[in-house]
Amino acid sequence: MANDLAERLRLAYQARSALHEDPQTTAYRLFHGYGEGGPALAVDRFGDVAIIENRGSTAEEVDIAMQVLGKAEPFSCIVLKERGKEPRALLGVLPSEPSAVLEEGLSYWVETWAPRNPGLYLDARPARNWLRANSSGRRVLNLFSYAGSLGVAAMAGGAKGVIHCDTQKRALLRCQENHRLNGQRTDARDQERMDVVKMLRKASEKGRKFGGVIVDPPPPSASTASNCSAMTPTSLAPAISPLVEPGGWVLCFFHHDARSWDELEEEMGKALGRRAVSMWRGRSGSDFPESSAERDLRLSALRIA
Ligand SMILES: C[S@@+](CC[C@H](N)C(=O)[O-])C[C@H]1O[C@@H](n2cnc3c(N)ncnc32)[C@H](O)[C@@H]1O
């Protein structure tokens, strides 16, 4: 069993050789337990820090992961995160200052000691790439912005501007810092600190229009934990629809949904109440090999006529 896990970790490391060799990308998943034969472990690289997330593996299994990682890469720190416990360093000293990582040449601040996400959702890399290729000349609305990585990618792709909406002050500050880190213009007026539903209503009353709207609500488990009723791209579609200019797109993140992709897009189209054509479908990157379709993140961009 121990040998098996060590071998799977090594195979996973080898499978990411293109990422290891890319000097423009220093943040990605090194081991995705769900799809790579170790359901209770995930390992991420953020620059020279590795984070092991243990969701129920034994101490021996965590030790194996540390040994394999230590041999594969000269990490300055290996952090262990376990539910209900403070993150701790298994190797080196737990960082206490944000550090910048790279993804396809763009930079993002991360807090590798944070108990939750360090500031960059690694599974959204394909969405960031799509935004970079499809935002030129558009005003983009980033709903549930968190630290703003999707907006940074849109600006890098030539967006005229990005409005971020999130309830967390800290997340919105990080949006500004991430724009600045990439030499992008940013303004306090580009941050809407309020509930998405309220923001959409106010924007509609003011007749605001966008060439692109990003809808990435927290996955159902996260919203249940924070006591909010689960919001989905489909439930928000009627409020988003009046804000999209003709020819604009809506980029939807469908998390943990048992419905087929066709069903999701059809329902989204109906809920928007306008003619909507699917223009792109994406998933997480190759560093997130999934074993079950329902677990997959599915990304759909719909163009509104
Ligand atoms: C999963 S993160 C979004 C990730 C982000 N799109 C990215 O790619 O980095 C969810 C975010 O939604 C925010 N949020 C949750 N409920 C919200 C609401 N009702 N209105 C506005 N923001 C909300 C949280 O504060 C959190 O920052």
Predicted TM-score of the model (pTM): 0.95
Same fold, 2-110 and 122-304: no
In tens, the pLDDT along 103-112 reads 999 999 999 9
Tell the residue nearest (CA) to atom 13 of ligand 1.
144
CA of 6 to the centre of ligand 1 (A): 35
The residue-averaged pLDDT of 153-179 equals: 98
Tell the residue nearest (CA) to atom 9 of ligand 1.
146
Q: With beta carbons less than 8 A apart as the criterion, state whether 109 and 181 touch.
A: yes
CA of 61 to the centre of ligand 1 (A): 33
The residue-averaged pLDDT of 80-84 equals: 94
What is the amino acid identity at position 225? A
The pLDDT, as a whole number, for residue 229 is 64
Architecture of domain 2-110: 2-Layer Sandwich (3.30)
Region of poorest pLDDT, from 37-46, 115-124, 203-212: 37-46
In tens, the pLDDT along 35-73 reads 998 878 999 999 999 999 999 889 999 999 999 998 888
Task: Classify each residue of 141-155 as buried b or exposed e, where b means 16 or more C-beta atoms within 10 Å of its C-beta.
Answer: bbbbbbbbbbbbbbb
The pLDDT, as a whole number, for residue 34 is 86
The domain spans of the chain are 2-110, 122-304
Identify the CA nearest to 256 among candidates 226, 222, 289, 215.
222
CA of 4 to the centre of ligand 1 (A): 37
Identify the CA nearest to 148 among candidates 161, 134, 133.
161
In tens, the pLDDT along 225-234 reads 454 568 999 9
CA angle 218, 221, 226 (to 5 degrees): 70
In CATH terms, the fold of domain 122-304 is Rossmann fold (3.40.50)
